[in-house]
């Protein structure tokens, strides 16, 4: 899969370093918002990015506002946040704003590429230890729409909670004492009933409906 990566950072040195690293990766086309093409060269800005790599230092209110702006400007792109630190509340707001992944600035080159490929495929990239810590602290959203009426069966709700908690299909099957094929059947029904694609959208659905706290026990297991 060809990655078309837009690099966004307020720091010129960081932008240059990230672009230099990505330029050495096969199958990756990268550029920054202020890119000026050389004479006769194709303008990468005419391409629609499938990944926006947003380096923000600390994930705070200013960064959240920038994420909203990026989501509006590059609709359809998956935003991967490269950050040094951030509060749990900021992570929640970023996910609600459409972020598909978080990575610490101390991450390796291999981790960065794995994260970019994961979000480009529509996945959610959050380290399990970060997600589990967040789930355990996250209270139900006030005024969230009720979960009832979504058409999910009790078993599908169980599967949904485990998906959000980061479990794989085999792990879910083992935990619920069902076959992997049955898990896949439930996942397909959940996506169709909720009209969502991928784990990132499922997490945002869980956020919107106040399900995050209810999966904390599953995430801790």
Do the domain assignments include residue 60?
yes
Q: What CATH number does residue 32 fall under?
A: 3.40.50.2300
DSSP 121: T
Task: Judge whether 213 lies within some domain.
Answer: yes
Q: Give the pLDDT confidence score for residue 150 in this predicted structure.
A: 67
Q: In this structure, are strands 99-104 and 51-59 parallel, antiparallel, or unpaired?
A: unpaired
Work out the pLDDT band at 162, boundaries 50, 70, 90: confident
Q: Are residues 36 and 110 in the same domain?
A: yes
Least confident of 79-88, 167-176, 194-203: 194-203
Q: Minimum mean pLDDT among 91-100, 122-131, 134-143, 147-156: which range?
A: 134-143
pLDDT value at 95 more than 70: yes
Which domain CATH number covers 161?
A: 1.10.10.10
Mean pLDDT along residues 190-208: 78
Q: What is the pLDDT of residue 221?
A: 44
HSE-CB for 35 with a 13 A CA cutoff:
22
CA distance 137 to 73: 32
The tally of domains found in the chain comes to 2
Check whether 122 has a pLDDT greater than 60.
yes
Average pLDDT over residues 124-141: 58
Confidence grade of residue 144 (pLDDT, cut at 50, 70, 90):
very low
Cα–Cα distance measured from residue 183 to residue 190, given in angstroms and rounded to the nearest whole number: 10
Same domain assignment for residues 112 and 7: yes
Say whether pLDDT at 142 is over 50: no
Which of 55-64, 132-141, 162-171 reaches the highest mean pLDDT?
55-64
Mean pLDDT, residues 7-26: 93
- Whether the CB-CB separation of 171 and 158 falls below 8 Å is answered with no
Confidence band for 134, pLDDT divided at 50, 70 and 90? low
Q: Is the pLDDT of residue 21 over 90?
A: yes
Are residues 24 and 113 in contact, defined by beta-carbon separation less than 8 angstroms?
Answer: no
62-66, 88-92, 121-125: range with highest mean pLDDT: 62-66
Residue 38's pLDDT is what? 52
What confidence category does residue 19 fall into, taking pLDDT thresholds of 50, 70 and 90? very high
Range of the domain at 28: 3-126
135 pLDDT more than 60: no
Tokens in use for 96? 């609600």
The verdict on 114 and 158 lying in the same domain is no
Same domain, 58 and 158: no
Instruction: Residue 42: name the closest of 29, 53, 54 by CA.
Output: 29
- Is the CB of residue 171 less than 8 Å from the CB of residue 180? no
Q: Using an 8 Å Cβ cutoff, are 88 and 134 in contact?
A: yes
């Amino acid at each position: 899969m060809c990655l078309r990566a837009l690099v966004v950072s307020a720091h010129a040195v960081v932008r240059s370093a990230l672009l230099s690293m990505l330029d050495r990766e096969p199958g990756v086309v990268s550029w920054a918002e202020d890119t000026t093409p050389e004479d006769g060269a194709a303008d990468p800005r005419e391409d629609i990015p499938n990944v926006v790599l947003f380096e923000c230092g600390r994930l705070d209110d200013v960064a959240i506002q920038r994420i909203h702006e990026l989501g509006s400007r590059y609709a359809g792109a998956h935003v991967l946040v490269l950050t040094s630190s951030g509060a749990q509340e900021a992570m929640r707001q970023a996910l609600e704003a459409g972020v598909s992944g978080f990575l610490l600035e101390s991450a390796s080159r291999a981790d960065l590429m794995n994260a970019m490929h994961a979000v480009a495929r529509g996945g959610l990239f959050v380290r399990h230890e970060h997600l589990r810590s967040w789930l355990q602290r996250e209270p139900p959203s006030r005024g969230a729409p009720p979960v009832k009426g979504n058409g999910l069966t009790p078993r599908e709700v169980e599967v949904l909670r485990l998906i959000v908690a980061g479990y794989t299909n085999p792990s879910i099957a083992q935990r619920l004492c069902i076959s992997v094929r049955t898990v896949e059947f439930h996942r397909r029904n959940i996506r169709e009933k909720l009209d969502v694609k991928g784990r990132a959208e499922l997490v945002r659905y869980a956020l919107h409906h106040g399900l995050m706290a209810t999966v904390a026990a599953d995430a801790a297991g």
